[in-house]
């Protein structure tokens, strides 16, 4: 499952894993992180990226043979659709990939600093650019901001609202008190929403 997800979302022109990302510490994937693809493909995938010496001790992985084309000669344009949570209100991701850019979104999420509910990459591996919308409170990602989206190929319609019972900066750690936030420089609490 992991190789399938990685292969279908790998964007060869930018050397990035196309969004959306439910948890990610960095938005731009460093090239050296991809060195493991060469060893995992027994040299079939070669990106002229040398593995870092400190990573050489790690377990060797093998890319399933049927997924190698995603890393060497992907078909563009294409739309990848994934269901991440199956329930009465499923969480679904859409990723549109073409040569010049990739656009990914999830139908519902939040703006916690490790989420990428909508993400666009463009450029080439040496000079990649990205667009990552966000909502800030006092200069930090505002986790209480809720993201809702519908995507059809390269078109997106999004909306943002604010949960009065959510968390400020960290999900599950700093719940808003009485649905209010404090703005630096103001003496009073401000209601959310």
Radius of gyration of the chain (CA): 19
Distance, in Å, from the CA atom of 141 to the CA atom of 144, rounded to the nearest integer, reads 9
Distance, in Å, from the CA atom of 19 to the CA atom of 98, rounded to the nearest integer, reads 13
In this structure, what is the dihedral angle of CA atoms 106, 22, 103, 162, given to the nearest 10 degrees? 50
Task: Give the C-alpha distances (Å, rounded to integers) separating 5 from 18, 82, 178, 190.
Answer: 10, 9, 40, 42
How confident is the model at residue 162, as a pLDDT? Answer: 87
How confident is the model at residue 188, as a pLDDT? Answer: 55
pLDDT reading at 100 higher than 90: yes
How confident is the model at residue 13, as a pLDDT? Answer: 94
Percent of the chain at pLDDT > 90 equals 50
pLDDT band with cut points at 50, 70 and 90 for residue 44? confident
Q: What pTM does this model have? A: 0.84
Percent of the chain at pLDDT > 70 equals 86
Instruction: Tell how far CA 39 is from the center of its chain.
Output: 25
95 close to 9: Cβ distance less than 8 angstroms:
yes
């Amino acid at each position: 499952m992991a190789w399938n997800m990685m292969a279908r979302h790998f964007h060869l022109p930018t050397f990035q894993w196309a969004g959306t990302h439910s948890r990610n510490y960095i938005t731009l994937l460093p090239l050296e992180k991809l060195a493991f693809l060469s060893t995992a493909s027994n040299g079939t995938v070669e990106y002229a990226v040398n593995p870092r010496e400190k990573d050489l001790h790690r377990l060797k992985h093998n890319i399933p043979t049927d997924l190698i084309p995603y890393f060497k000669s992907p078909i563009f344009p294409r739309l990848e659709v994934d269901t991440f949570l199956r329930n009465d209100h499923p969480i679904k991701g859409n990723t549109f990939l073409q040569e010049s850019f990739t656009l990914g979104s999830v139908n519902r999420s939040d703006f916690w600093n490790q989420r990428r509910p909508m993400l666009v990459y463009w450029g080439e591996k040496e000079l990649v650019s990205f667009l990552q919308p966000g909502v800030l409170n006092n200069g930090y990602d505002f986790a209480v901001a809720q993201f809702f989206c519908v995507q059809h190929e390269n078109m997106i319609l999004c909306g943002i609202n604010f949960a009065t019972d959510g968390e400020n900066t960290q999900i599950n750690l700093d719940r808003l008190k009485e649905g209010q936030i404090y703005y630096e420089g103001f003496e009073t609490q401000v209601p959310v929403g």
